[in-house]
Amino acid sequence: MTEPGDISDLVYADRYAWPGESLRIDTYRRVAIALAAREAGPERERHAALFLENFLAGAIGAGRIMANAGAADGDGDGGATMVNCFVQPAIDPGLGWPQGLDAALARAVRTMSMGGGVGYDFSPVPPADSGAGRGGACAVIDRYDQACQALATPARRRRGAQMGVLACDHPDLPAFLRAKAGRRRWPTLNLSVALSDRFLRAVENDEAWTLRHACPPAGGQASQRGVRGDDGTWPYARLPARRLWEALTAAACRDAEPGVLFVDTINALNPLRDSERLSATNPCGEQPLPPHGSCVLGPINVSRFVRNPFGANGPPGFDFSELGRRVRIQVRLLDNVLDLTRWPLPEQAAEAQAKRRIGVGLSGLGDALLMLRLDYGSPAARVFAARIARCIRDQAYLASAGLAAERGVFPAYAPRPYLEPRAGWPPLPPAVQAAIRRHGLRNSHLVSFAPTGSVSIAFFDNCSTGIEPAHAWQYRRRLRIGEAPARNVVAQNPAWRLWRRLHGDGDELPPYFRRAADIAPSAHIAMLAALQPWVDAAISKTVPLPPECTAAEVGALFLRAWRLGVKGLTVFRPDPRMPAVLEPARHEGQTGPAAPAAA
């Protein structure tokens, strides 16, 4: 049975509205005033007004900001953080194994209890066959999953979210790839495998691959597995790289996990690559971070900047000037969060202050392209989407240079990575480069495209999320509000609803109205590749697959993504054995494949 209720209002009231906030503008005022507290006294009122104007124009903070800003005033969750994304060590490096496990787990619980999602690189965990105890990487991940589940209480409005990453040469990788078969184990974790260029070349060339670890196998130097290598690691097994690859792609095809992280690409394109190594991401994959790293996010609904949508009164256009203005205000707002938020751990505060990572993002890209009468899967759509991403990047860097002139550069700043030409990083415009040379930068990273799921529903009228096209035009969604049983609510895509308002229910939708499942997987990857050069962090992207897709086809998609220079990828194939979060409703006005279930 489908129950009445506007999905946007329901999600807003459940996740973001404080007592006494019945309208979104009430929330916007609370957040704007709270974040303007960073400004000098005489300027606070002016900047609060600018932040409020930005919210009304479609540039908001990510979920933790909208839910928790102002908590220091004594309302809301006084123990919450405004930071969405963290990466923490799975083992405290100062204590080593096994003592460092309990300490690291306690710190993870502290972060999650304050509302942060956490990613971990489990590769330092000794393998199950090492004789070091604790059962290897999968047993350690069990403990993290159990700790996160234990945090769930009736008072918590958000479930904990974690990312578990394992390197492609870890001896426990085969068990890791089997662990989530049927999607029952580790429900609080997304999984990714960190793939090196060396491993991927071994797959291409059908070469052997060695699983190895710094902790020796049982028996130490007497082990018959081999002797310690020059890199300080011990070999555990040698097998064809393609055997591991087939296990990985079969798991991804079957279970939608693990995703893949192309770690050498991630590190090569990191402007701080000379001073940090990135081996894990936040739970949704859009933010590669060092140990104790974090990122403050804020999406902008780019469909708000389409002028004359669908060309009803003339050719549609896009207001890049207005988008740029919103980006510049967004950078200041997010930089303020770094100085105002509560930090779960002092190490996180120190890391954030040293580098001041922020992530201006977007939502509604799919809807914007529809309003511009562009097919998401077409080259023209990719060219236009890249123009939007470039505008966000260029204006974010310009704003950060302006903030540096006012507040100083981030402590770890060095100009060379931002100004010298490098592969995969299109040069900034001359005016932006001149501003950086003159003032430096306030923030090490500025652009991150997250999935924006709940904020797009609550604040953007259920627009298409992140960089994704719409899953369906009208559908039933299973929605859980508080501790009440899940209910079915009808949801509509606002671009589709606008087109219907302009053209009526009788007209057939034009060909450019294509849902996510209608678009070829290769075109999804092409869109990701078109946007990545303008994003200094990464992009959360899930490629929907047809039900008949094979593991070999998934492998070909992963290799294509790697060759195109993207940083990571997840795929999803509908599984009739699993309950769907999204179900297409009737009378969408278009025949064709049903919308895929949500990952």
DSSP annotation string for 174-190: HHHHHTTGGG-S-TTEE
pLDDT of residue 508: 94
| Low-confidence residues in the chain, pLDDT < 50 | 1-2, 4, 73-77, 154-155, 221-224, 586-587, 589-599
CA atoms of 395 and 198, how far apart (whole Å): 36
pLDDT digits (tens, 9 = 90+) for 250-306: 999 999 999 999 999 999 999 999 999 999 999 999 999 999 999 999 999 999 999
> What CATH number has the domain spanning 85-281?
3.20.70.20
Q: Which pTM value belongs to this model?
A: 0.94
pLDDT of residue 593: 32
DSSP at 59: B
Which residue type does 61 have? G
Q: What is the CA radius of gyration of the chain?
A: 24
Residues 6+ apart with CB under 8 A from 334: 61, 296, 297, 298, 358, 359, 360
How large a percentage of the chain has pLDDT more than 90? 83
CA atoms of 449 and 438, how far apart (whole Å): 28
pLDDT digits (tens, 9 = 90+) for 31-81: 999 999 999 999 999 999 999 999 999 999 999 999 999 985 444 445 789
> Among 385, 383, 340, 382, which residue's Cα sits nearest to residue 358?
340
**Secondary-structure percent of the chain, ordered helix, strand, coil, rounded to 5:** 45, 15, 40
Q: Residue 445 in 3-state DSSP?
A: coil
Domain borders along the chain are 85-281
For residue 194, the cross-strand partners are 167, 261
pLDDT of residue 219: 72
pLDDT digits (tens, 9 = 90+) for 158-214: 668 999 999 999 999 999 999 988 778 999 999 999 999 999 999 999 999 999 999
Decide: 493 and 464 in contact? Cβ < 8 Å. Answer: yes
Neighbouring CB atoms inside 10 A of 284's CB total: 27
For residue 490, the cross-strand partners are 476
Question: Which alpha helices (H) appear in 188-319, and where do they start and end?
Answer: 197-204, 241-255, 263-268
pLDDT of residue 595: 30
Which residue type does 66 have? M
Decide: 552 and 249 in contact? Cβ < 8 Å. Answer: yes
What are the DSSP E strand ranges found in 24-183?
Answer: 85-87, 117-121, 162-167
The three-point CA angle 488-490-493 to 5° equals 140
pLDDT of residue 73: 47
